[in-house]
């Protein structure tokens, strides 16, 4: 085993930091670290924190950290910034600087801005969550902006997902929220002292009443907070605990975890396949196929079949022909 992984397993925070970079960059050492750490995972409560830009996610995350610490829990935070996938992450800068003022050894904060390989963000986030979990944090907060499919996937890796709303955002953002709504376990109305907060709470309550009740009887609560003042945060942590207890009952958490792990296997298999394909597409032998594609003498579907058909068919012709 590598020395870095040994130091990580011994509780060295700098080793954790370096391995998180390896996981983010999808290196072989990063993958190995996750494999070695995996047996120690499954203990942390993984909590997704999502919502539109401007909802106050970072302030709420900080308030949650304080409340959780006051209850003696250790907290790992993974802040994911999709907008930085192209620009390189400037938006997170201020917030991270603020959060890094925590000198508390019971808190670890990490931002992640993986470049936009499809599935890459999910795998990097999943791996990072495993490492934080194995490192021993009681709670792992995963903060994402609620916009794209990638973020929905990341939220799907949480045990409990908080969806933050604020009064006064425009209609277009409401539209996006409608989609994200389906992944929420707890709704948070932040900036609850704003004049139109009551109306937002009413609207959300009506939306919940219109939806299907969940099997197993978890009623999605609406928690009003003013994160800047810490108001409502204790109740929010109580609700997190209630949701975790609800998940633990009747094997619900186990079912969620199984689904997540199987999805992770599929993404890891695909990552390996993508490398395999990329090597072939860049090879000398493929040059003629490129030429045929551009000249419209061969179509992408047929070229793709030639590329992988033989491999997949060789193992099980019946299934790969579908």
Interface of this chain with a copy of itself, residues 213 to 242, rule: CB under 8 A: none
Q: Which helix (H) or strand (E) holds 163?
A: strand 160-165
Sign of CA dihedral 167, 172, 177, 178: positive
Residue 67 or 153: which CB sits closer to a copy of itself? 153
Contacting range for a copy of itself; rule: CB under 8 A; set: 6-14, 71-79, 197-205, 267-275: 267-275
Q: Which helix (H) or strand (E) holds 315?
A: helix 300-315
Q: How far is the CB of 137 from a copy of itself (least distance, A)?
A: 17
Report DSSP letters for 191-207, one per residue. STTSTTHHHHHHHHHHH
Rounded Cα distance between 91 and 116, Å, is: 16
When asked if residue 98 is in the footprint of a copy of itself (CB under 8 A), the reply is no
Q: How many helices (H) and strands (E) does the chain have?
A: 15, 7
Burial class of residue 100, CB neighbours in 10 A (0-12, 13-18, 19+): exposed
When asked if residue 13 is in the footprint of a copy of itself (CB under 8 A), the reply is no
Contacts of 81 (CB under 8 A, 6+ apart): 89, 91, 92, 111, 112, 113, 145
Query: Is the CB of residue 167 less than 8 Å from the CB of residue 191?
Result: yes
Q: How far is the CB of 46 from a copy of itself (least distance, A)?
A: 15
Binds a copy of itself (CB under 8 A): choice among 149, 214, 229, 250: 149
When asked if residue 2 is in the footprint of a copy of itself (CB under 8 A), the reply is no
Site for a copy of itself in 47-66 (CB under 8 A): 52-54
Q: Which helix (H) or strand (E) holds 77?
A: strand 75-80
Contacting range for a copy of itself; rule: CB under 8 A; set: 29-37, 159-167, 190-198, 241-249: 29-37
Binds a copy of itself (CB under 8 A): choice among 119, 194, 207, 242: 119
Interface pattern 152-191 for a copy of itself (x via CB under 8 A) = xx----------------x-xx-xx-xxx-x---------
Q: Which helix (H) or strand (E) holds 155?
A: helix 149-155
When asked if residue 196 is in the footprint of a copy of itself (CB under 8 A), the reply is no
Contacting range for a copy of itself; rule: CB under 8 A; set: 157-165, 211-219, 236-244, 260-268: 260-268
Q: How far is the CB of 237 from a copy of itself (least distance, A)?
A: 27
Binds a copy of itself (CB under 8 A): choice among 148, 194, 242, 246: 148
Contacts of 120 (CB under 8 A, 6+ apart): 26, 114, 271
Q: How far is the CB of 32 from a copy of itself (least distance, A)?
A: 8
């Amino acid at each position: 085993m590598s020395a870095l992984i040994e130091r990580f397993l011994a509780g060295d925070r700098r080793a954790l930091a370096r391995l998180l970079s390896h996981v983010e960059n999808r290196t072989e050492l990063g993958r190995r670290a996750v494999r070695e750490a995996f047996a120690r995972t499954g203990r942390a409560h993984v909590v997704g924190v999502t919502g539109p830009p401007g909802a106050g996610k970072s302030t709420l995350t900080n308030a949650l950290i304080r409340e959780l610490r006051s209850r003696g829990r250790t907290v790992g935070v993974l802040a994911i910034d999709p907008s930085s996938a192209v620009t390189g992450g400037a938006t997170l800068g201020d917030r991270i600087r603020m959060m890094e003022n925590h000198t508390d050894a019971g808190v670890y904060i990490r931002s992640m801005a993986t470049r936009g390989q499809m599935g890459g963000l999910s795998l990097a986030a999943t791996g990072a969550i495993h490492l934080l979990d194995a490192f021993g944090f009681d709670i792992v907060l995963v903060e994402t902006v609620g916009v794209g499919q990638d973020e929905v996937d990341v939220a799907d890796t949480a045990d409990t997902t908080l969806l933050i709303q604020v009064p006064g955002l425009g209609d277009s953002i409401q539209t996006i929220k409608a989609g994200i709504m389906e992944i929420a376990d707890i709704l948070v109305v932040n900036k609850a002292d704003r004049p139109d907060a009551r109306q937002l709470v009413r609207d959300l309550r009506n939306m919940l009443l219109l939806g299907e009740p969940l099997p197993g009887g978890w009623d999605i609560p609406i928690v009003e907070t003013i994160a800047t003042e810490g108001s409502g945060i204790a109740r929010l942590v109580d609700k997190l605990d209630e949701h975790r207890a609800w998940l633990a009952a009747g094997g619900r958490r186990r079912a969620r975890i199984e689904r997540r792990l199987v999805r992770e296997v599929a993404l890891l298999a695909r990552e390996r396949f993508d490398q395999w394909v990329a090597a072939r597409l860049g090879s000398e032998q493929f040059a003629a196929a490129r030429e045929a594609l551009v000249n419209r003498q061969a179509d992408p579907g047929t070229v793709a079949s030639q590329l992988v058909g033989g491999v997949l068919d060789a193992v099980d012709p019946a299934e790969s022909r579908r």
